[in-house]
Amino acid sequence: MIDFVRGSVSAVHSDRIVVDIGPLGLTALCTPVTALSYRVGDRVELVTSLVIREDGWTIYGFLDADERTVFEQVQTVSGVGPRLALGLLSTLTPDELRGAVAREDLVTLTKVSGVGKKGASRLVLELKDKLGPPIGGALAMGTSSGVGGWQASVAAGLMSLGWTAKEADQAVLAVAPLAETSVSQGSAPDIGALLKAALQSLDRS
């Protein structure tokens, strides 16, 4: 098992970063918030999960051990693989996912791309005794409209890049129509696209 990766960032994409560890460059698939928290040349240490399949080995990178633990727990649900597990964490924070499962909030869970009503029901049934209550102590950070997760994720991503909380809040408001359009169409907001749009709005201000 590769427990963590440490090195310098040599490339950044919306869903992955390439880490230069000396003689090798390792690609780590990440949530958009994690990936866009870094710039080329930054020093980075990611907690990782190695997934081995017949068609190759894939490294998934996380900012902390809790996110990795949830990523691995979610994959114990029948029909959930690493891509969908990462998709859940790209839309909901670990605590938002815990809250949705604890509340049996199928509406929030089905806002995640690739999760239908049956899949959401399986998540609730199979994870309720594994994830436990939200660490933050609140069950309802996510909302029934599914927008709580993207707002928190975009704001966190912007602040990790050096923007102030006030600037992050302004950018979240600026891109809210994009997120609302996705929700109205029955799909989860694309965190990577929203982060890029939010950064563009800040650059123009």
Pair of tokens at residue 19: 């880490």
Q: What is residue 157's predicted lDDT score, i.e. its pLDDT?
A: 77
* CATH numeric code, 4-62: 2.40.50.140
Q: What is residue 41's predicted lDDT score, i.e. its pLDDT?
A: 93
Q: What is the pLDDT of residues 131-166, one digit of tens each?
A: 877 766 444 344 333 345 677 778 777 876 778 878
Please state the CATH superfamily assignment of the domain spanning residues 66-131 in this structure: 5' to 3' exonuclease, C-terminal subdomain (1.10.150.20)
- The two domains 4-62 and 66-131 share their CATH topology (first three levels equal): no
Domain range summary for the chain, segments of one domain joined by +? 4-62, 66-131, 148-204
Q: What is residue 21's predicted lDDT score, i.e. its pLDDT?
A: 93
Q: What is residue 204's predicted lDDT score, i.e. its pLDDT?
A: 64
CB 111 within 8 Å of CB 150: no
> Helices 82-91 and 94-103 meet at what angle, rounded to 10?
90
Q: What is residue 19's predicted lDDT score, i.e. its pLDDT?
A: 96
Query: Which residues in the chain show pLDDT less than 50?
Result: 137-147
Q: What is residue 136's predicted lDDT score, i.e. its pLDDT?
A: 61
Which residues fall within 8 angstroms of residue 7, CB to CB, at 6 or more apart? 19, 20, 21, 22, 26, 43, 44
Helix then strand count (H, E) for the chain reads 9, 5
Q: What is the pLDDT of residues 79-97, one digit of tens each?
A: 999 999 999 998 888 888 9
